[in-house]
Chains A and B, each alone.
Chain A
Amino acid sequence: MEWWTLSPEEWTAVRLSLKVSVWATLASLPLGIAVAWLLARRDFWGKSLVNGLVHLPLILPPVVTGYLLLLAFGRRGPVGAFLADYFGIVFSFRWTGAALACAVMAFPLMVRAIRLSIESIDRRLEAASGTLGAGPAWVFATITLPLMLPGVIAGMILAFAKAMGEFGATITFVSNIPGETQTLPSAIYTFTQVPGGEFGALRLTLVSVAIAMTALLASELLARRISRRLDLE
């Protein structure tokens, strides 16, 4: 076997990381759009509090975020127990927990990108759409959403990249179980902790770099295609 061939265990970590990151990104997207819209467009009581909460994972030590998740979403945590009893959704020591940790950590980045793109939309276009007979929901679906698409894509790519690299909160919340919660960073960390693990760590590092680069290129390409379509005067 050549040194660059991934072992089955390493493949498992790569696949798990991709699955966790895709789920984290897609599942948090609707909430991300909603929160970004609220923060960009609405004034409500407690707005700064919501804004602070959303951005908290960005400044808290990831271990702290992970521990708070463990307290809230663990088997005995208030939210975790409720979800397990009524919906059968279990987060602790499952890949779903890893996805949750990644989503929480990536959320501020996603919201920020989407919020910026909402704020850059010319609201007079929405007024124009209203005079043409479109109710608020239609205005959002046909004008606001398409015009904020570049920001949504940027936010998704950022969130995906952040999720691929999330380590601290994930390992604190759902530990480091091969095949269930051992994502790429966790696997690399494990390799560096055992004698003779250097090549494994190097291989997975290269995979990480390749995935990150692909994501970045894809977002560039998409953004360029969209901006060419919009091509604002």
Chain B
Amino acid sequence: MTLSVSIRHRQGAFTLDAAFESRGRLIALFGPSGSGKSTLVNIIAGLIRPEQGRVAIGDRVLVDSASGQFVPPHRRRIGYVFQDARLFPHLSVAQNLRYGRWFTPTADRYVEPRAVIDLLGVGHLLERRPAMLSGGEKSRVAIGRALLASPKLILMDEPFASLDDARKAEIFPYIERLRDELNIPIVYVSHSVAEVARLATDVVVLSGGRVQSAGPAASVLSHAYVLPEVDPAEAGALVELELLEPDDGYGLSLLRSSGGVWRLPRIDAAPGTRHRARVRARDVMLATKRPAHVSALNMLAGTVAEIVDAGPSDVVVAIASGSDLISARITRRSLDQLALKPGSKAFALVKSVTLAGTGPAPAGDDRQ
């Protein structure tokens, strides 16, 4: 299912002028606050009618200013998980969950309450009122409520912004299951690199109301220049890895990326499983010759793909390693001393890697 968006909408002094198309299973709308993410999501949901433009899922047009088409929100079949959950306070959890299902024609229902309740682990909450739930529980019920309306697209507008990291860690596996087990596209709004790196198959980067870049998560997130505006410390690459050997005898796991072999702290999973690692640009050193006596475990050979300015003294150098782009933040002085230019050979020494969840199944199999 292709989500295609092409809109122009003015709201006070702010203009959203965004166009992208994506067949991703989990499309992250990514950008700093005020970049137009929530406006865009509200336009997709039909809560805001854009001044100009068109939004369509597959061949189903939701709004088109050229032909005057506008499908009202209640006919769009789009599940919206709001930032503040917005559970109905006068209904129990069970009634909240079944609310949207009631408006869905029987023929269009594709999920059963039992399955969703199990998937989200909210079975013990059914009799409660929303006021009696914790933040994480509210988020899960809100997801379940949207899901039980059997939507054709799910929108999540920073659904976990108010949760602490422990609660988020509790919920992310559920989102990954939605992404991998259901065949409905999810549009996920976030301004956190870590969340996007963990969950997204595709990323649309918004900045000042415009699409800065869009495409598969690994390639978008690896282009360092899209990220500094969000959070310089988090800028970096996302690498897809396949587990070769869970234990190499030193308590380390052996994995393979498109550019080489990696050693990471032991991962308890079966060989062949896919994982995602985030490599921050500030954790990568560069060398022009293969260093012999260093303690860094992970070293990848590649060529300089591009060099981007990053502040007064630094640059970010993107190294093409296989199909991955690994970025390194180095000083301009080092750049000159190493005489790096686009095309020159370089070795990336990775000091530290963060595992960012299990990778989605390889793209292409179920993207219809």
Where the two chains meet, the residues of A that have a C-beta atom closer than 8 Å to any C-beta of B are: 122, 124-125, 127-136, 138-139, 142-143, 146-147, 229-233
Give chain B interface residues in 128-183, CB to chain A under 8 Å. Answer: 129-132, 145-146, 149
> Contact between B145 and A132 (Cβ–Cβ < 8 Å)?
yes
B103 x A124 contact (CB < 8 A): no
Q: Are A133 and B149 in contact (CB under 8 A)?
A: yes
Picked from A131, A133, A136, A142, the residue with its CB within 8 Å of the CB of B47 is A131
CB within 8 Å for A132 and B99 given contacts A124-B82, A229-B129, A231-B129: yes
Query: What are 8 sample pairs from A and B whose C-beta atoms fall under 8 A apart?
Result: A127-B86, A128-B86, A130-B72, A132-B149, A133-B102, A231-B129, A231-B131, A231-B132
B78 nearest CB across to chain A (Å): 6
Q: Tell whether A232 pairs with B89 under 8 Å between CB atoms, given A128-B82, A133-B103.
A: yes
Q: What 5 new A-B contacts, CB under 8 Å, besides A131-B45, A232-B89? A: A127-B86, A128-B80, A133-B75, A133-B102, A135-B72
- Taken together as a complex, chains A and B put the C-alpha atoms of A125 and B86 apart, in Å, by 6
Q: Which residue of B lies closest to A132 (CB)?
A: B100
Chain A's closest residue to B45 (CB) is A131
Closest to B86 in A: A128
Q: A124-B82, A127-B47, A147-B90 are in contact. Are A133 and B74 (CB under 8 A)?
A: yes
Dominant SS among interface residues on chain A: helix
Question: Hey, which chain B residues are within 8 Å of A138, CB to CB?
Answer: 74, 103
B25 within 8 A of partner (CB) = no
Max chain B CB contacts within 10 Å: which of A132, A134, A136, A231?
A132
Q: How far is the CA of A230 from the CA of B131 in the complex (A)?
A: 8
A124 x B84 contact (CB < 8 A): yes
Query: Is the C-beta of B104 less than 8 angstroms from some C-beta in chain A?
Result: yes
Q: Inside 8 A of B90's CB, which chain A residues have their CB? A: 146-147, 229-230
CB pair A230–B89 under 8 Å, yes or no, is yes
Contact B79–A131 (Cβ < 8 Å): yes
